Amino acid sequence: MININTEHLRQFVSDAELQQMSGEVLAAKSVLLSGNGKGNDFLGWVNLPEELDPAIVTSIKNDVARLAPKIKLFVVIGIGGSYLGARAVIEALQSEFAAVMPSSHPYVVYAGHTLSEDYYHQLLSLLDGNDYAVAVISKSGTTTEPAVAFRIVKAHLEAKYGKDEAAKRIIAITDARRGALHDIAVQERYPMYVIPDNVGGRFSVLTPVGLLPIAMAGYDIDALLQGARDMRQLCIANDNLTENPALFYAAIRNILYRKGKKVEMLVNFLPNLKYISEWWKQLYGESEGKEHKGILPHSLSFTTDLHSMGQYVQDGERLMFETFISVDKPAASVSIPSDEQNLDGINYLLGKSLNEINHNAELGTMIAHKGGGVPVLKIGVPKIDEYVLGQLIYFFEFACGISGYTLGVNPFDQPGVEAYKKNMFILLGKPGYEGKELV
Ligand code: PA5
């Protein structure tokens, strides 16, 4: 199980503060579980690991078996919650060099998360020379970025394979009844998966939104779901702050926020966790950043960013705390070769694994940042695999719900996302927006 270590935090948070906050997070937990809070029509994610229909998992596996042997690339079209969870899991598990390594599984590429013209030009060039299939994912079915990407990719796919074969290579994941994507999928007879009404985008990674791309990339979605199930059990059954990591994390965040720590930096020491941070940033930023409140979620990859942001963290304005994701064991080992001449002066490292060196960098950083006035919370993770990622996902989701309710906001809506869309539609002359004022 993942665990929480407070060794580098305790001087910033007293037992009395924790005691007082424990009442608040327990109250928030009971609001979440009773479904009496704001946004209670979006709580489907709470029981999802238990209640997901096994037939959906079987169908996903059948789609993988049907498509994977005939494709090199799987294009996942989606934005925000409709792509970040899948990307987080896939990039955590795959080789950093997967794009240029031989593989028996399709390589996942992404679209619909940008409007960059160059990006689509480059993507189409890639698709020209490779067999591929597509998942188009949008809960509303009306989001502009994935709609634009899908129109471009669909035209390419139909030109390459013909309309009938293209229709077999497109899988739509969307609302059961509404939206343009739903209507297109029904008309074109695309295989379809439904995003449940009561699961919001950023909480949807354990629905087909995340599960289909993850399975297509060759990863074990049963283990991912089992990890989430086990973490759910712990999060729901245990009211003891020191045993329930989600309660503890939510408590610490709110204590530090009230003491002026307005920025949380999620820190990893493994570059393949970058998209876990991106997913986490959306989860917390979109859930808590409202009513002019909320911790600003930020992320860093160490030791890389110690050579760019390390100075600020150590010595800049004291507005942040750090949450380290500390992974115990690497998937493989690499040793440092000996060199009699020792011109680079690193022979003192001989006999140590790179993982040991990395962990010493991590410990040294925690102590230094604590000394510089930055509270550091450590989330210990035994290793990176599907089971542990399932735990981590559910842990962060459950803690997010509690933390948002403790903050006093509705963690399950995102009204602020609409403002840019409205302006964009006015500027682009979308029908229905004529004469409207920019906001
Ligand atoms: O978490 C959310 O609700 C958002 O990030 C959405 O996932 C994102 O805006 C994409 O929306 P849709 O899936 O409707 O295209």
Over residues 29-46, the pLDDT tens digits come to 999 999 999 999 999 999
Distance set, CA 203 to CA 28, 123, 232, 400 (Å): 18, 28, 14, 10
Give the nearest ligand 1 atom to 174 CA.
13
Kindly state the average pLDDT of the residues 233-255: 96
Centre of ligand 1 from the C-alpha of residue 141, in Å = 9
Q: Tokens 């735990």 — which residue?
A: 391
**Mean pLDDT of the residues in the chain:** 96
CATH topology identical between 3-36+227-416 and 48-219: yes
Centre of ligand 1 from the C-alpha of residue 283, in Å = 11
| Domain range 48-219, CATH architecture | 3-Layer(aba) Sandwich (3.40)
Centre of ligand 1 from the C-alpha of residue 354, in Å = 39
pLDDT value of position 418: 82
Picking from 160, 173, 166, 161, the residue whose alpha carbon sits closest to that of residue 188 is 166
Kindly state the average pLDDT of the residues 19-38: 96
Ligand 1 cavity residues, CB under 6 Å: 79-82, 138-140, 143, 146, 200-202, 286, 414, 417
Kindly state the average pLDDT of the residues 305-334: 95
Amino acid at 300: L
Atom 15 in ligand 1: residue holding the nearest Cα: 138
Kindly state the average pLDDT of the residues 47-60: 97
**DSSP for residue 6:** -
pLDDT value of position 415: 86
pLDDT value of position 417: 84
Sorted by where each begins, the domain ranges of the chain are 3-36+227-416, 48-219
- Ligand 1 pocket test, candidate residues 76, 87, 136, 143, most atoms within 8 A of CB: 143
* Close Cβ partners of 272 (under 8 Å, ≥ 6 residues apart): 91, 92, 93, 94, 96, 384
Decide if pLDDT at 150 tops 90. Answer: yes
Exposure string (b/e) for 312-334, b if CB count within 10 Å is 16 or more?
ebeeeeeebbbbbbbbeeeeeee
Q: What is the CATH number of domain 3-36+227-416?
A: 3.40.50.10490
Kindly state the average pLDDT of the residues 203-228: 98
**Catalytic residue check, 286:** yes
pLDDT value of position 179: 93
Could you say which of 329, 383, 421, 436 is catalytic?
421
Which backbone phi and psi does 264 adopt, to 5 degrees?
-115, 130
Q: Tokens 């989600």 — which residue?
A: 246
pLDDT tier, 416 (very low <50, low <70, confident <90, very high otherwise): confident
pLDDT value of position 264: 98
Cα–Cα distance measured from residue 175 to residue 165, given in angstroms and rounded to the nearest whole number: 24
Could you say which of 51, 307, 434, 437 is catalytic?
307
Kindly state the average pLDDT of the residues 10-30: 96
pLDDT value of position 53: 96
Cα–Cα distance measured from residue 277 to residue 275, given in angstroms and rounded to the nearest whole number: 5
Length of the chain: 439
